[in-house]
Structure 1
């Protein structure tokens, strides 16, 4: 049977595709635009856009190609409902969904914010679908450092943080993907359940995370504390103002509060969660 990976161009989805292929599984990777999709040789591809109008209209043929002979699915949240896709997956005989969610779905500072609302709605659709599923809640992805701080570090400028003392638990994206792969394999169903909270091995301040990158590069990286208002004024066009407001609320609530840590990665994969320093060493050229 085939494992379907939605969002196969994504940070986690691409790694899930690679992991499943390496495990010798039949994989079908999907993307909105197949011209942008690069997959290992032997991996099937199918166009799939969960945000299209025909999806919202519950077109029964919208997912036929993607779901043919599919046993398990890796799914991510979108701003639109996935209910029609889940209905089609149920009808197609899908036996398990591994859903990549966010701690914003339940954390107090973000629960009512846009990120929390999007993921809670998706989880509610999943629960209503009747499909067996496991929800993954990964902590702060190490790749956020590249996204948020990479330009400043490459330019040898200070990293500007509105809440440098906010605590996070960086997690290596490979750890998230390895857990997902384990849960997607039908012969490795031991850890399937309603939810799995995934974290890295250590809680640290954001400015300590910047320092860890500096240690990996062999040079100090200055940090400059800025106001919330300045952070909002520097908002990148690709990030909605409401999303940034919610992220700032979350950071403010995390100041001086150690972030929760679990041993889920080790329990499922058999190895300890990778530290941030490992990710930095593997991605030094990005900085």
Structure 2
């Protein structure tokens, strides 16, 4: 059987591809531009737009049609899209796909975010998967450890304070490899398939404690500077829309001083305890020390 991994350039998707291939599984990796994919030897690639209307095999503009992408596919790793993936899901059903593992976000149900843009996008995508009639499991990973690099890496490498509007906001960092390993198990085996799996790291901590964890691994103190919500909005990165940042700030404000939920789903699925933020930082410390040759 073949497993189709959509969004194979992504933080989790490419890890899923690597682990499936290492397990000897036939893998087909997809991205809208397959030329941007870096995959292990022997992994097939396809150009796929999940939001394209249903059509004949061999789509225009270098994209492959649904028929090509889904040929002999038994399971699909799926991510959320801003547009509707309903035609793709219908094609997957018609092609005989047996199971879909859908990577969603806790924003689809958490009180501070589910009405925001991230929550709306993921709820709509979940509804499309449910309405397709495909057997599926929804994954809800907690705060990805890679966020530490994305959000704080520049300041840490420069020796500057990490600026946080809500330093006491609680999160549960999860190792991205744990998310990928759980997804691979669900793609290949039916033991833990269910309507949803909430995946978390081993402990809840405040954001300033997470920064301190990075510092402890690096062997230096990383200062944290509390800033106002208004300052955070004013310093918004261009890639992050204002409504999304507003929603993230709402979520952080709601979690100040309140422990984030922790589950044992990673251990139940993979057979070993979830890895800590300290472990992930230790594996990737070069990214915080201005190494240019390291890929997260």
Correspondence 1:58 to 2:54: yes
- TM-score normalised over the length of structure 1: 0.97
The Cα shift of 1:50 comes to 1.9
**8 Å Cα contact 2:54-2:66 kept in structure 1:** no
Determine the structure 2 residue equivalent to 1:45: 45
CA offsets per residue over residues 52-101 of structure 1, 9 Å max, x none?
xxx1x332533111100000000000111110110000010000000000
Determine the structure 1 residue equivalent to 2:199: 198
C-alpha RMSD over aligned residues: 0.7
Determine the structure 2 residue equivalent to 1:244: 245
CA distance in 1 between partners of 2:104 and 2:157 (Å): 31
Determine the structure 1 residue equivalent to 2:13: 13
Aligned runs of 1:154-165 on 2, under 5 Å?
154-165=157-168
**8 Å Cα contact 1:115-1:243 kept in structure 2:** yes
Correspondence 1:217 to 2:202: no
CA distance in 1 between partners of 2:56 and 2:138 (Å): 25
Determine the structure 1 residue equivalent to 2:124: 121
Determine the structure 2 residue equivalent to 1:75: 78
Determine the structure 2 residue equivalent to 1:27: 27
Correspondence 1:110 to 2:106: no
Determine the structure 1 residue equivalent to 2:269: 268
SS at 1:259 equivalent? coil
CA distance in 1 between partners of 2:31 and 2:217 (Å): 34
Determine the structure 1 residue equivalent to 2:152: 149
The Cα shift of 1:32 comes to 1.1
Count of aligned pairs: 281
**8 Å Cα contact 1:60-1:88 kept in structure 2:** no
Aligned runs of 1:276-287 on 2, under 5 Å?
276-287=277-288
CA distance in 1 between partners of 2:46 and 2:35 (Å): 11
SS at 1:239 equivalent? coil
